[in-house]
Amino acid sequence: MSLSAGAPSHPPLTYSASTPHVSTAATHGQAFPLPRYLEYSALRDLLHPDDTPAVTPAAVRSTAAASLSRVQSHAPVRPIPIPYPYLRSSLTPVDSESEGNTPSPSPPPRRGTSVPVTIAPAPSTSGLRIPTRWGEQSKSSQLTLSADGCELTFCGASLADRDTAASARTACPIPRACGIYYFEVEILERGAKGKSVSIGFSTEKLRMSRMPGWEPHSWAYYGDDGRVYSGQKEAYTFVEEFQSGDVIGCGIDFSQNRAFYTKNGTFLGMFFEGLPADDLYPAIGLRHPHESIRVNFGSVPFHYAIADHARTQRDTIWEHIMHGPAEDEAGDRESGVEGAATRATLQRLVMSYLSHHGYVSTLRNFRTQCADESSRHCIDERGPDPTDPESPDFQRRVAILHAVREGNIDVALDGLRAYYPHALGAQSGLLLFRLRCRKFVELVLKASEALRRVKDVEKAQGGSGAASEAVLASDEDVYATGKGEDADGEGAMDTAKAALHLALSYGQELEAEYKTDARPEIRVHLRRTFGMVAYDDPEHEDGEMGAMAGQEARVELTGEVNQAILESQGRPVHSSLETLFRQTGACVVQLGVLGVGAAAYADVRQEFLET
């Protein structure tokens, strides 16, 4: 379905506050937290308070050019970073499976990637900001503003003309990428002459001498008569009055282009239809001396359980996306085109993914299933089939990837030199360097395992483990003096000495070869790699050392080798399925940035990868 299609109206639910209300706001100058309800927006990584830097460094990293921009009439086009992690790095690490008939394992989580990424230019500090204070320059001179920008007090003479007022709006508009935006206003004092406070939102065209709700391009809820106005006095809906001590909440649901109000944590209903695509600002209007309000944009808990509301609307939108028919779907079904063509495309996508990551047995089984369904036309017959698990190239690549994953680096290097020599030059030789460093790690791990065996033998014989400590202290001294108590102990000691000597010798060779390479990534990685010799059992250490010694580091390196091989052959470094997934995420981001409110709740990462 089209994301621009309207979703079903939100039901008039009543929520109780999930957290107690706190009447004091965050200290001015303190970091403004992103309100919890905004975590349900798929574009949450783009949102930030209007008093903080525009984006975090993590939000700038992207494998694609971040050319998305926010369209505003009062500002130039600005590049926006792509927020989704799956748009910034490989969707899954490469993980080749064994030649047996065991099912293919699921790809393990990925810690990161050393594959170079494109750094998108940082947007200006007025990117997708969420309002956090009333604007100093967008309020009536008859209103005083507190230091934290949240409290407004009427300080002028009482306004006799009912059409005049003292209004204020926020410094920045509400990003439609929020999906739902919500704020609450506490009526501190209604004034001596009544309770003429209006709470709502407007475009930037609202005059600061007029009440929101009565003016065109504004919408507001009035306390004196309990009515909700939509741009003119005659267009209103009666709700109920409010007065001093009440807390009025106002929310804008961009997925429906409607608004809603709450009172003291109770949902009052949905209001207005077809809100415009213009930028909208939270707005307030006061008319009499001593009238005072305080706004909460999310620095403290809300009275209303807005997080539950946002989650409910997200689920409603996603259900509509998943089960609502696309505009052209009915015609396809009627003509019979959808079945065979769609099935063939999906089969081709799945095969390319399995082939790309080297899932041999699963690929074989799936191809057999396709053949049984008479669906071989899903395979591209124009030349060698890259998804054929029996092809020599596929077998060679999988064997190399399997060797890396199992820690057999020499086997992998021999295969690369024989069949894919150009791949070893990937990343200016960094791939070869990382493979050689991994070989050193594997040698150290073998030495560590051999030393554990020595300790086990000594403990079984009632020894203290001094001989194994001597091996760690100096392999040359142990060669001269270290002796075991019996044949088993002596054999374990000899194995440990040989393993440690081999690791240290290879480390010296590696250091000598890269001694003159001043590249920072080389120096840093060498230092980390050689630091492993300081640990008795690096594979079971915590933190960075344990990660470097563990299986996940092998899987990550396997992914780099796989990408290098494919790139050396002129083939895509990502499977078609992953590319399609990335493109879907990019489209959602662009729709959200361009103002399609429902896009905020089309969270493909959350729905397909994290649930």
Chain segment 55-93, per-residue pLDDT in tens? 333 333 333 333 333 323 333 333 333 333 333 333 333
Q: What is the mean pLDDT of residues 239-247?
A: 90
Residue 212 and residue 139 in contact, taking contact as beta carbons nearer than 8 Å: no
Dihedral over alpha carbons 349, 355, 358, 360 (to 10 degrees): 100
Residue 312 and residue 13 in contact, taking contact as beta carbons nearer than 8 Å: yes
pLDDT at 342: 78
Q: Residue 97 above 60 pLDDT?
A: no
SS3 of residue 503 by DSSP: helix
Chain segment 126-136, per-residue pLDDT in tens? 458 999 999 99
DSSP codes, 105-131? PPPPP-----S--EEPPPPPTTSSEEP
Q: Identify the CA nearest to 148 among candidates 54, 28, 42.
A: 28
Q: Give the 3-state DSSP-derived string for 41-60, with helices as H, strands as E and coil as C.
A: CCCHHHCEECCCCCCCHHHH
DSSP code at position 210: B
Q: What domains can you pick out in the chain, each with its CATH number?
A: 1-82+120-327 (2.60.120.920)
Residues 6+ apart with CB under 8 A from 17: 265, 301, 302, 303, 304, 305
Give the CA angle between residues 214, 215, 220 to the nearest 5°. 50
DSSP codes, 558-603? HHHHHHHHHHHTT--SS-HHHHHHHHHHHHHHHHHHTT-GGGGG--
Chain segment 557-570, per-residue pLDDT in tens? 998 999 899 899 88
pLDDT at 258: 95
pLDDT at 536: 82
